[in-house]
Chain A
Amino acid sequence: MTAAKPTSFQGLILTLHNYWSERGCVILQPHDVEVGAGTLHPATVLRALGPKPWSAAYVQPSRRPGDGRYGENPNRLQHYYQYQVLLKPNPPDMQDQYLGSLEAIGIDTRLHDIRFVEDDWENPTVGAWGLGWEVWCDGMEVSQYTYMQQVGGLDVSPVAGELTYGLERLAMYVFGVDNVYDLPFNDRGMSYGEVFLENERQMSAYNFEVADVETLKRQFEDMERQVVRILEVGVGPQGQKLVLPAYDHVLKASHLFNVMNARGAIAVAERASYIGRIRDLCKLCASEWMKQQEQAA
């Protein structure tokens, strides 16, 4: 089946959904808690762990409060979309499957120069790392491709292959657009700017000027305490610990930290300690999740 090449931002997403759906992925919707990267969706961070196979693809809004530019920079956004694919165990032909997805969205490998350039991925806030590449198309990074080796300090076994496409950047490239706000959102004349420009303006002002540091700090500490409490006292109907709600609270803590950071409220020396605190919470959840997965298997 040769589908027509996408001509809009949402067409691009639908093409990727179709492509990965045909390859056996569960097509999920975004996780409804603010996260800084698609990796943090429980469908990646938690499902990467444990013995069970799992294939999923989804779009996840990434919130990067510090990257906001009040809608004035053509490339930078504090809210943008990542397309995330997780294949566990990674299939032997995963590179070919990935290259097929580029063809599907209209990148002709006979005209373009596609390269796999070493880039080892690491996310210290969730104690995760893997080896892989940045994938370049004519010198531009279009995806991150990682064989995840550890999450939450635990071995990912079997190994999960993770693909992250930066959707706006990819769309700008495929559609030859220089300003993100000029991207065609659909095929009926709606632009990305009409959908998101106002959001960038307001959220930038909030993140940089209005967010109340004292409140954020207090909420961060609340979340931190809740993670520990939920894991300690919570019991599910099958007697299990409540790792999923606990993990949501880790994500909330992580986002609160990002806003505080954008507000300039965190000194260099404090930064590492905050990241360490989030990592510790994440490890608690990861090891509990792993236990449940192993018991189930």
Chain B
Amino acid sequence: MPQLLLELFSEEIPARMQAQAGRDLERMMRDGLSAAGLISEGMKAFAGPRRLALVVEGLPIAQADRDEELKGPRVGAPDQAIDGFLRKTGLTRDQLVEQDGVWFGRSQSKGRPTTEIVAELVEATVRNFPWPKSMTWGSGKLRWVRPLQRILCVFDREIVPIAFEGLEAGDLSQGHRFMGSGGVFRARDFDEYREALAGHYVVLDPEERKQRILEGARTLCFARNLELVEDEGLLDEVAGLAEWPVPVLGDMDPAFLDLPPEVIRTSMRTHQKYFAVRDPATGKLAPHFLVVANVAAEDGGRTIAAGNAKVLSARLSDARFFWDEDRKSGFDAWNDKLSGVTYHAKLGSMAERVERIATLAHHLAAQVGADPTQAHQAATVAKSDLASQMVGEFPELQGVMGRYYALADGKDAALADAIRDHYRPQGPSDEIPTGPLGTAVALADKLDTLVGFFSIDEKPTGSRDPYALRRAALGVIRIILEKGLRLPLNSVPGVQAQTLMPFFADRLKVTLRDQGKRFDLVDAVFALNDDDLVRIVARVEALDAFLKTEDGANLLAGYRRAANILKAEEKKGPLPQGAPTEVADPAEEGALFAALSALGPKLDAALEAEDFTAAMTALAALRAPVDAFFEKVLVNSDVPAERDNRLRLLQQVQAAMGKVADFSLVTG
């Protein structure tokens, strides 16, 4: 079956946009083709520095011809109905045929050639491509991420006639900017294309580029008894910056090794896109770097290595300048500066925020096993490094630098660690703070953020969460749960006033869902207005286990039946209040009374002890009497006293179960 090959050749596409562009191209072409009824056997997109390419295998050469029988209105239907049918189908009245009192029409159409459809689809795809940022160039009106220079489009080895905005599709492409002839070449199918590209020093497939980089880099390092510090994000990026990636190992002045390794690595990665290299024996950074060039240079890369080494020296000299100046400056000077830095127009300066965090850390310290005075001190210096020159240059080193500067300043190691750790966890794969000081400051930091932004009505909506409040709440939840902290959240100043608990409930559901746990029960438990996350989760887990048992499932059914009856009866008038009385007949009514009486103290004791499994076991004892009651006893008795007593019993069942969870909110 015929093959379609498309290449959109442009000036350099930002590395960070390439992977998504490949996916978008594939999706738009797949959707367009299948909307036209053209189903392929497979397709694959490739994205690189100067081109997006797509190969579609096994496309029919044309759409199938269509011949459909269309059922219309019945004979004698109003004219409007018949006219409507004609409009919709494009038929005329004399084309309609009567059959069994109904008008029928035939719609026949010849399938269009695939080439025509592809031509329209490519133009529409280019015009509507969802680049994060796009531009116009020259005198044209077309938008692309950078100037689009050439379109190669061949179907079944023939050029697809596409022409718009001064671009005309052909069978021409071109290779590497500097290596090889630099000229154009022709390709009429994917094999020719791929082969010609390789001959013109272009590796088409980003995965292959990454593989080459990794293997080449590892080999270079191995030969010098070094080890590459691998970095997935950086690898993706450099693979998007070279059509012919060539790793080159360069030397760094060893004098810079006294800088913190995070500084060296960040400087290499952010400014220069270099990989760091370590000594496998010590695990410490080695005085080298690995750069991925886009050219196999005639001198084997010596000039490139030397040039990059020089740039790196200048960068690291800047870093050393910051490191030296920062250590001279110190925390007090930085804290002074923070009073001139606005945190948020409505939430005051950074210094004011630090003060709030320190007060809160002091307040929380005892509950997380930290000394309140120390927690206050740690919080006071936790954000100071934001005013340092190094963090000004490399914002991602916030906390990390604070720790180094605290140690250099002779501060306590636990306090220094707390500075670094209080930003944790920064994402689902990040660890929570280890020490109690870091825990206290981390909680205070996140809770202050949440209370602050809720108080100025900056709550997340939909996908908009500019202040990362969801991440802050998840951080609080993870710290509390993973450390088993008994911290009633409503006791934290502001949490209750800003009604933050429902927000925590939502985030807790996400956490439980991510752990593969049942999360609908969170609502049933949250309805009890508990604010202790550890207890809430224990309750949810016990409830989950209980509902999986036969007793639990049946009791839930009984609960719902009771609730339905009570709801129906309530419509007729107020339900009878007060406790039920014991009756001997019917026996099932007496048995339920007895079971409820026995349950009360047991349930209360189990809940008091927070033994939720025991509480569920106690509830399980209700199941048989409840079932028997519904089977044998008619609640809606003609005798008003009987009816009242039975309604009182059912209310008691509801109340007893309600101490464990709001079963009416269990959906599963």
Taking Cβ atoms with an 8 Å cutoff, the residues of A that contact B are 75, 89-92, 95, 99, 109-118, 120, 130-133, 137-140, 147, 149, 157-159, 161, 173, 178, 267-269
Q: Which of B11, B134, B291, B298 contacts A110 (CB 8 A)?
A: B298
Tell me the complex Cα distance, A161–B11, Å: 13
Q: Which of B14, B149, B242, B342 contacts A118 (CB 8 A)?
A: B14
Chain B residue contacts of A130, Cβ below 8 A: 135
Tell me the complex Cα distance, A114–B49, Å: 13
B641-652 near A? 1/0 per residue, CB < 8 Å = 000000000000
Tell me the complex Cα distance, A149–B147, Å: 13
Q: Is the CB of B299 within 8 A of A111?
A: yes
Chain B residue contacts of A131, Cβ below 8 A: 133-135, 145-146
A111-B297, A147-B135 provided; 11 other pairs, C-beta below 8 A? A89-B137, A95-B11, A113-B308, A114-B178, A118-B12, A138-B307, A139-B272, A139-B274, A147-B146, A159-B139, A178-B310
Q: Is the CB of A110 within 8 A of B297?
A: yes
Q: For residue A169, which residue of chain B has the nearest CB?
A: B314
Q: For residue A161, which residue of chain B has the nearest CB?
A: B137
Chain A residue contacts of B306, Cβ below 8 A: 138
Q: Does B241 count as interface, using CB distance less than 8 angstroms?
A: yes
Q: Does B294 count as interface, using CB distance less than 8 angstroms?
A: yes
Q: Is the CB of B149 within 8 A of A115?
A: no
Residue in B137, B272, B291, B341 with the greatest tally of chain A CB atoms within 10 Å: B137
Q: Is the CB of B139 within 8 A of A158?
A: yes
Tell me the complex Cα distance, A118–B311, Å: 19
B interface: dominant SS = loop
Tell me the complex Cα distance, A6–B15, Å: 34
Tell me the complex Cα distance, A89–B303, Å: 36
Q: Is the CB of A92 within 8 A of B147?
A: yes
Nearest chain A CB to B178 CB, angstrom units? 5
Q: For residue B135, which residue of chain A has the nearest CB?
A: A131
Q: Which of B301-326 contact A (CB under 8 A)?
A: 303-304, 306-308, 310-312, 314
Chain B residue contacts of A157, Cβ below 8 A: 136, 139
Chain B residue contacts of A161, Cβ below 8 A: 137
Q: Is the CB of B11 within 8 A of A158?
A: no
Query: With A90-B137, A113-B293 as given contacts, are A139 and B178 in contact (CB-CB < 8 Å)?
Result: no
Q: Is the CB of A147 within 8 A of B307?
A: no
Nearest chain B CB to A67 CB, angstrom units? 13
Chain B residue contacts of A132, Cβ below 8 A: 146
B125-144 near A? 1/0 per residue, CB < 8 Å = 00000000111111100000
Q: Which of B5-35 contact A (CB under 8 A)?
A: 11-12, 14-16
Q: For residue B345, which residue of chain A has the nearest CB?
A: A269
Q: Is the CB of B297 within 8 A of A116?
A: no
Tell me the complex Cα distance, A173–B310, Å: 9
Nearest chain B CB to A267 CB, angstrom units? 7
Nearest chain A CB to B217 CB, angstrom units? 15
Q: Does B340 count as interface, using CB distance less than 8 angstroms?
A: yes
Tell me the complex Cα distance, A140–B12, Å: 18
Q: For residue A130, which residue of chain B has the nearest CB?
A: B135
Nearest chain B CB to A78 CB, angstrom units? 18
Tell me the complex Cα distance, A89–B308, Å: 34
Chain A residue contacts of B11, Cβ below 8 A: 95, 116
Tell me the complex Cα distance, A95–B177, Å: 10
Chain A residue contacts of B653, Cβ below 8 A: none
Chain B residue contacts of A92, Cβ below 8 A: 138, 147, 149
Tell me the complex Cα distance, A118–B131, Å: 14
Chain B residue contacts of A120, Cβ below 8 A: 133
Q: Does B295 count as interface, using CB distance less than 8 angstroms?
A: yes
Chain A residue contacts of B49, Cβ below 8 A: 116
Q: Is the CB of B136 within 8 A of A149?
A: yes
**Sampled A-B contacts (8; CB under 8 Å):** A113-B291, A113-B294, A113-B307, A115-B241, A118-B16, A138-B311, A139-B312, A161-B137
Query: With A131-B133, A269-B342 as given contacts, are A159 and B138 in contact (CB-CB < 8 Å)?
Result: yes
Chain B interface size, as a band, is 35 or more
Q: Is the CB of B178 within 8 A of A110?
A: yes
Chain A residue contacts of B340, Cβ below 8 A: 267-268
Chain A residue contacts of B138, Cβ below 8 A: 89-92, 158-159
Nearest chain B CB to A245 CB, angstrom units? 31
Query: With A75-B314, A131-B146 as given contacts, are A159 and B298 in contact (CB-CB < 8 Å)?
Result: no
Q: Which of A115, A116, A149, A158 contacts B135 (CB 8 A)?
A: A149
Q: Is the CB of B136 within 8 A of A159?
A: yes
Q: Is the CB of B136 within 8 A of A139?
A: no
Chain B residue contacts of A114, Cβ below 8 A: 177-178, 294-295
Chain B residue contacts of A147, Cβ below 8 A: 135-137, 146-147
Query: With A110-B178, A131-B133, A131-B135 as given contacts, are A139 and B294 in contact (CB-CB < 8 Å)?
Result: no
Tell me the complex Cα distance, A156–B134, Å: 14
Q: Is the CB of A112 within 8 A of B136?
A: no
Q: Is the CB of A140 within 8 A of B311?
A: yes
Chain A residue contacts of B295, Cβ below 8 A: 109-110, 112-114
Q: Which of B177, B241, B299, B308 contacts A138 (CB 8 A)?
A: B308
Q: For residue B250, which residue of chain A has the nearest CB?
A: A139
Q: Which of A75, A116, A137, A268 contacts B342 (CB 8 A)?
A: A268
Tell me the complex Cα distance, A249–B294, Å: 46
Chain B residue contacts of A173, Cβ below 8 A: 307
B102-141 near A? 1/0 per residue, CB < 8 Å = 0000000000000000000000000000000111111100
Q: Is the CB of B241 within 8 A of A117?
A: yes
Nearest chain A CB to B51 CB, angstrom units? 14
Q: Which of B275-291 contact A (CB under 8 A)?
A: 291
Q: Is the CB of A109 within 8 A of B15?
A: no
Q: Which of B468-526 contact A (CB under 8 A)?
A: none
Chain A residue contacts of B135, Cβ below 8 A: 130-131, 147, 149, 159
Tell me the complex Cα distance, A110–B520, Å: 63
Nearest chain A CB to B454 CB, angstrom units? 25
Chain A residue contacts of B303, Cβ below 8 A: 111-112, 138
Tell me the complex Cα distance, A140–B274, Å: 13
Nearest chain B CB to A160 CB, angstrom units? 10
Chain A residue contacts of B297, Cβ below 8 A: 110-113
CB-CB nearest 10 A-B residue pairs: A138-B307, A118-B14, A116-B12, A139-B308, A113-B293, A158-B139, A139-B311, A131-B135, A89-B138, A140-B311
Tell me the complex Cα distance, A131–B621, Å: 72
Residue in B14, B293, B297, B307 with the greatest tally of chain A CB atoms within 10 Å: B307
Q: For residue A51, which residue of chain B has the nearest CB?
A: B139
Q: For residue B301, which residue of chain A has the nearest CB?
A: A113
Tell me the complex Cα distance, A110–B296, Å: 8
Q: For residue B312, which residue of chain A has the nearest CB?
A: A139
Chain A residue contacts of B307, Cβ below 8 A: 112-113, 137-140, 173
Q: Is the CB of A109 within 8 A of B12?
A: no
Nearest chain A CB to B234 CB, angstrom units? 14
Residue in A90, A131, A132, A139 with the greatest tally of chain B CB atoms within 10 Å: A139
Nearest chain B CB to A176 CB, angstrom units? 9
Tell me the complex Cα distance, A263–B297, Å: 47
Tell me the complex Cα distance, A130–B136, Å: 10
Q: For residue B295, which residue of chain A has the nearest CB?
A: A113
Chain B residue contacts of A111, Cβ below 8 A: 297-299, 303-304
Nearest chain A CB to B320 CB, angstrom units? 13
Chain A residue contacts of B147, Cβ below 8 A: 90, 92, 147
Nearest chain A CB to B418 CB, angstrom units? 28
Chain A residue contacts of B15, Cβ below 8 A: 117-118
